[in-house]
Structure 1
């Protein structure tokens, strides 16, 4: 297979493109059920979808140590249960533009935690500049679609999404630092299955979800979301486990998610079209990624 198609940059872009597609499907699903319950079912199915694609599954499963299972449970809690529980809860308290900006700040939190928790992933002025520039681009795109209205719930929502960013970044660091002996597909599959079950169990007393049969569009939306998560998370965990890949650098690719999201909206939604503010934000993000990749390649050659 062409090495370019397996390059870290290409696969990171593919994962981010997949993550940019679910917003319409999430809106459809939430018309019929509650957020935590819907997320739990989604990730449980995602984990099951990966199982048939794990080569030598039984042998790999038998080879897992008790330490490996502890790490899988830890990743399940951080990357599925806590991450998406906090995300769905926090976003409910905030205007869409502000929520998008806070989620867009995740690469900064990833860089800070990687700096604190990993010896080989330290902050540099170049990296900080590129990340701040990328965040500026996300802010420009978000403010171009601003629906900001001051409410008393905003401080709570901001706090929850900041915690969400910390939890997600910590999960990325743990996957990159501690799970080298666990096959990426095993890690992705079982962390989503266990994390999904925990979300479903939490949703029962908190949300009291409706367990009736829903219209077909709910199941189409759920199926698409499950496939997206299975593919994107498997790719992402595989990239985090690659030798030489740094958590901080990899997470900067997430800045392109709002670019893909805006482009998909322009293509699909009749009332959405390109505007100057969004394009300006996209150009700023593109420049930040080009700058970071240029300096990374220059550093490697030295």
Structure 2
């Protein structure tokens, strides 16, 4: 009988990516009023707390939690502390649309790391062609701004490098979740790693950025509330998908090519001073083609001669 959980994988993956694509506007808004580490720390602590009512009926025993504490800590280190610490710092150096495009390189990083670190998740011709086409789109989007010619060109290039490092940390977090089978409920695992990673970021922000202002305007609180919600929802969906039998890290991460397209569109629409051009549109077309090229077979009935799902 066909596993309907697997047939819903594309829909859930797209939902998570669409949620993540809204983060660039929210982060750029919140960073006008708070330091990157403090803002990220508060966001992810709130995200972790938002999930408590959902996993409480399935809460693990204290013994089971302590037995998996090291895994939770490592996931929190890569998936929240390092990934989003670097992401928020990078976002202070580049426009929101450009950040969305650079983050779009994350499927390539995930696929390469999964090739070396995951059993049965090797690169093949279709996967390689899709990734290269998507990466070409990201390169066109990034280089179309000619950052080396702008007054802040070196800062933008540094921001791009920092965002690429954050991609690597996120890929390692994905691999940790996929490699280690535990009895912990995915919602609990996500909630715990979000709160621990966020708390570590907040603690680091205190000596580096100082305390937040006593009063903050409503755009900060709106962006914080939305970002906390989307992190709780998107990561929970993603962790659930990563734990499904038959779902591969590299294939699932191909859906993240949606993030730069939607993130750039929202940044152009909502952030002042950001607008599209011919080359950015061409890059987005490459990214969309990469997604279609590789993922359309996911909607077809599986062949009896393949074991992709």
Classify the TM-score, shorter chain: 0.7 to 0.9
Q: Which residue of 2 aligns with 1:85?
A: 85
- CA gap 1:299/1:127 in 2 versus in 1, 3 angstroms: farther
- Contact preservation (8 Å) 1:34, 1:209: no
Q: Which residue of 1 aligns with 2:136?
A: 136
SS in 2 for 1:210: coil
Q: Please list the CA deviations of residues 188-229 of structure 1 after superposition, one character each: whole Å capped at 9, or x if unmatched.
A: 101011111000000111111324121222111111110111
- Contact preservation (8 Å) 1:51, 1:189: yes
The Cα shift of 1:164 comes to: 1.8
Hey, what's the Cα distance between the residues in 2 that align with 1:191 and 1:32?
26
Q: Please list the CA deviations of residues 61-90 of structure 1 after superposition, one character each: whole Å capped at 9, or x if unmatched.
A: 446243312111111111011111122223
- CA gap 1:200/1:153 in 2 versus in 1, 3 angstroms: same
Q: Which residue of 2 aligns with 1:214?
A: 216
Q: Within 5 A, what are the aligned runs for 1:152-231?
A: 152-153=154-155, 156-231=158-233
TM-score between both structures, scaled by the size of structure 2:
0.85
Q: Which residue of 2 aligns with 1:263?
A: 265
Q: Which residue of 1 aligns with 2:242?
A: 240
Q: Which residue of 1 aligns with 2:66?
A: 66
Q: Please list the CA deviations of residues 145-194 of structure 1 after superposition, one character each: whole Å capped at 9, or x if unmatched.
A: 55553745566545433332221111110011114432110011010111
What CA RMSD, in Å, does the superposition of the two structures yield over aligned residues? 2.9
- CA gap 1:20/1:212 in 2 versus in 1, 3 angstroms: same
Q: Which residue of 1 aligns with 2:10?
A: 9
Hey, what's the Cα distance between the residues in 1 that align with 2:176 and 2:6?
26
- CA gap 1:94/1:268 in 2 versus in 1, 3 angstroms: closer
Hey, what's the Cα distance between the residues in 2 that align with 1:230 and 1:39?
13
- Is there any run of 5+ residues in structure 1 with no aligned partner, and where? none
Hey, what's the Cα distance between the residues in 1 that align with 2:274 and 2:300?
40
TM-score between both structures, scaled by the size of structure 1:
0.87
Q: Which residue of 2 aligns with 1:31?
A: 32
Worse overlay, 68-77 or 195-204: 68-77
